[in-house]
Structure 1
Amino acid sequence: MSTRTPGGDLPVRRIDRILAFMSLGLLVLSIACFFAIILGSAAKVDFASGLWPTVGVVVYIAPILAFAMLITVLIMSFVRRARANRGE
């Protein structure tokens, strides 16, 4: 049997919401860049010039940052819930 949080659910803070939506946005951006690279390689585009190097880096960096933001939100919510349960 699990313990109940005192006073019901804890309210969602603004920073939690911001980090969650930024994580989702980075994942969507990464997927869009991935498909842009697929379409660019099908069109035989020169990936060494223009905006393509940035698109290539986003595919590698954005999922890692999104995962780190999601883990941060999880840890923050676990700590906040533990403090609320310890308080009463």
Structure 2
Amino acid sequence: MADKSPVIVNRNERIIAYMLASAVGLSILSIIAIIAGTGLGVRNFGEGIWPAIILLPYVGLPIGFLLVIVLVVVSGIRKSRAARDAGK
């Protein structure tokens, strides 16, 4: 059997990935809710919870994009450190 080194699970990367998934997921769910609300006959989106649902994609998707960039940078730094340590 080949000796396989265990995969190092980085807690920070996992937390960032979950934050990314939740921000984008909530934004997509709110877009679906807006489409469903329009289909069900809601015409006044200015009252109730609708303003928050409409605002969520405007905030969540840019945050998701920034989290993708952060995740790539953190992952790149970890991999470069691992490669540098393996070379020693």
The 10-residue stretch of structure 1 (25-34 or 41-50) with the greater mean CA deviation from structure 2: 41-50
SS at match of 1:12: coil
TM-score normalised according to structure 1 size: 0.80
Q: How many residues align?
A: 82
* CA RMSD across the alignment: 1.8
% identical equivalent positions: 30
Distance 1:36 1:26 in 2: 15
Match of 1:60 among 38, 58, 61: 58
1:69 maps to 67
TM-score normalised according to structure 2 size: 0.80
Superposed structure 1 runs of 4+ greater than 3 Å apart? 7-10
- Which residue type is aligned with residue 47 of structure 1? F
- Greater relative contact order: 1 or 2 (C-alpha under 8 angstroms, separation 6 or more)? 1
Q: Which runs of no fewer than 5 residues in structure 2 stay unpaired?
A: none
